[in-house]
Structure 1
């Protein structure tokens, strides 16, 4: 921390004279060279525009964005309704042409788009072409297979069109060896593409029908946006039918009469994972231990354990066990527990307390995950003794599953439910 500011305040107070003194107090002098905030020149948030530049902007705005004349307004009246014309005029009056010129500049940042598009035309790469049907072809729509002579003529014509796209000004006379090789490769590719064109296999007397053969808009399998096709993408891409189905998961779904879609809505989280060692006569066997919870956030909660020498195998075992062990959790008003709970597992004791609406989950992180997976929203807890993670999770789960409901207490005491609520909640009914 700098001592300049405290020292300046202290010396200025000590050197100042009382108001009754005839002489003025000594000026306060800071101990650093930075200009004081009051003495600094304030910088404007926006750059100021000079008068001559403003005149040029007005001229450019009038040239690029002229106002509508009477003839253009009459043309607009033929296409738009009076309400639409009024909306157009209101929008143009709200926009200042000078702002469009000053702010609508071409982007120069590294994240700009690699192309300029006014959205007036269809881009064959980024836009999906509109599909056409046979009704869009004028004239007869009959085809027949082309003979050898017609096929050769069509291949020659199509190959010439493809070569004309590569060399619009004609093939140059003086060419290097590399350019000649490139020309031969282009001719071979053009002939191959022409031989595969449907116009080389079929012919028709209607030229529009012939054009429809090569138009992708008439194809029933019109391709979508271009996909990335390379070796790595093909190796990593797997169809849904090729997914390896886990036999444990299949057996679990059969036991619970569920489908795979229900598993997607479960909240599954591994809370404890550590290594364990089993001493045998063959030596020490190291393995991984996992403790996982599973819940649907709507009154179901389960805890499962798994252990294996392979970490992924042990985690799968714990997940399947947690789903299989899911039990219903009673919830008061769908948000908290019924009264206060206490459970002891080993040296760990967990105390859970019901709370009013909006209280939230003010518990430690392990109990927080259990409460969120079970669908509890208002809860507080204490762990006054040992805080072993596994015992805390098991004690909390058993306490939530073994709650005493008010109707059970009422039946045991032979009283009405409305009388038990006040006693059960200590006179505070939320």
Structure 2
């Protein structure tokens, strides 16, 4: 691409006006030029003539407290709370609520406008009432046949009135309406027969009304629940979870509790499929190699193999925890000197390092060192790097260290400060 045109565009402002016509200026920025930018207000502009209409709408939609409402508020709230309410009402302008407020249009909005002044039986928690809320005596007795028939007729009439607020249709009805009316009468009579007010009677009218008031019910649940046999069998609490028999035997073997077992760091490092050739054909299973450690001087390696993936992994985890052995640590951060171990064709060399060196090793040895609680270590794998052999060789090297005091006792010598020997005179 030629640079002539960009150069002319760039220096077009500096050229003299004697040119016949300057070339159009090119923009070297992705955003729009400053003259083309228009500052848009956050809220739409409102004309002064419309303010009167907004004020009228605000006063109609959000009226101020009148004297009766203020008197009711004073009976419920303290003077300091009343002052806070008045300060909030004077701060919030009703006209700003109309201009800046928005009505919800999302699908999750409530299907009605509620000022939260009344308890809604669907969305709100059901109010509970006790015996103290019933004035007068609370004695009941079984109703006789005459009282029962009278109560059923009265309750059925109340139920029909709820079904037909405008009155029961009279006159000649078509077959559909007549069938609906007959079904409504049958439903009202059935509900009345099951109503406790038809079975019991009392001289206290408030006590009779409490029998049908759901707020006095002690058996009504707070939330709907599934109370069938299958739901009870499948529903388990966290404290009632089914215990693995292998885990139970492991806890008995170690003498631990579940809390201590959960603190063990477990990680599966090797997963691959294996095939066993039998007279039944090739049987494929999965092999797992897992490490476990408490990050404070204990490290274990376990293997598991099964046709089911979850079963094989559980075997390896339990085996790794059962095989945990202590790892000697110098100053709780590194090994006692340099280590070397050979498993198969794999050789692992571990080197102790001074404080702050970190774990500069490959990822498999890094996971082993972190599970054992080592912080300063370096390693080499000069020969084969088979994952299984690297893990096993590292584990054997860490757990079979020769401690300086054992070497000193074997040689008949006294134990001295070994940091000069291990760190080349770098003592921290």
TM superposition score normalised by structure 2: 0.72
For 1:256-285, what per-residue CA distance to the aligned partner results, in whole angstroms no more than 9, with x for missing partners?
444556656665554433211123355422
For 1:222-253, what per-residue CA distance to the aligned partner results, in whole angstroms no more than 9, with x for missing partners?
4112347899x949943459965433233233
Report the Cα distance in structure 1 between the residues aligned to 2:6 and 2:256, rounded to whole angstroms. 81
Whether 2:98 is the aligned partner of 1:104: answer no
Pairing partner for 2:5 from 11, 20, 32: 11
Assess if the C-alpha contact under 8 Å between 2:360 and 2:379 holds in 1.
Answer: no
Assess if the C-alpha contact under 8 Å between 1:350 and 1:395 holds in 2.
Answer: no
Aligned length: 417
Matching residue of 1:60 = 57
C-alpha displacement at 1:310, in angstroms?
2.2
Report the Cα distance in structure 2 between the residues aligned to 1:99 and 1:354, rounded to whole angstroms. 69
Matching residue of 2:217 = 219
Pairing partner for 2:38 from 22, 37, 42: 42
Pairing partner for 1:51 from 33, 37, 47: 47
- The structure with the largest alpha-carbon Rg is 2
Report the Cα distance in structure 1 between the residues aligned to 2:265 and 2:248, rounded to whole angstroms. 19
Pairing partner for 2:147 from 147, 150, 153: 150
**1:187-206, aligned counterparts within 5 Å?**
187-206=185-204
Assess if the C-alpha contact under 8 Å between 1:131 and 1:217 holds in 2.
Answer: yes
Unaligned 5+ segments in structure 1 are none
Cα 1:41–1:218 shift into 2, 3 Å: same
Report the Cα distance in structure 1 between the residues aligned to 2:111 and 2:401, rounded to whole angstroms. 63
Cα 1:35–1:274 shift into 2, 3 Å: closer
For 1:308-335, what per-residue CA distance to the aligned partner results, in whole angstroms no more than 9, with x for missing partners?
122232233223334434556678898x
Stretch deviating more after TM superposition (73-82 or 285-294): 73-82
C-alpha displacement at 1:139, in angstroms?
0.8
Cα 1:28–1:425 shift into 2, 3 Å: farther
The alignment partner of 1:102 has SS state of helix
The alignment partner of 1:154 has SS state of helix
Cα 1:163–1:72 shift into 2, 3 Å: closer
Matching residue of 2:317 = 319
Matching residue of 2:251 = 253
The alignment partner of 2:273 has SS state of strand
Report the Cα distance in structure 1 between the residues aligned to 2:93 and 2:361, rounded to whole angstroms. 57
Report the Cα distance in structure 2 between the residues aligned to 1:113 and 1:234, rounded to whole angstroms. 32
Pairing partner for 2:278 from 263, 269, 280: 280
Cα 1:83–1:196 shift into 2, 3 Å: closer
Whether 2:162 is the aligned partner of 1:162: answer no
Assess if the C-alpha contact under 8 Å between 1:341 and 1:399 holds in 2.
Answer: no
Report the Cα distance in structure 1 between the residues aligned to 2:216 and 2:174, rounded to whole angstroms. 42
Matching residue of 2:348 = 349
C-alpha displacement at 1:424, in angstroms?
5.5
Pairing partner for 1:304 from 302, 305, 327: 302
For 1:120-164, what per-residue CA distance to the aligned partner results, in whole angstroms no more than 9, with x for missing partners?
222223332343322222111112223333333333433433333
Matching residue of 2:131 = 134
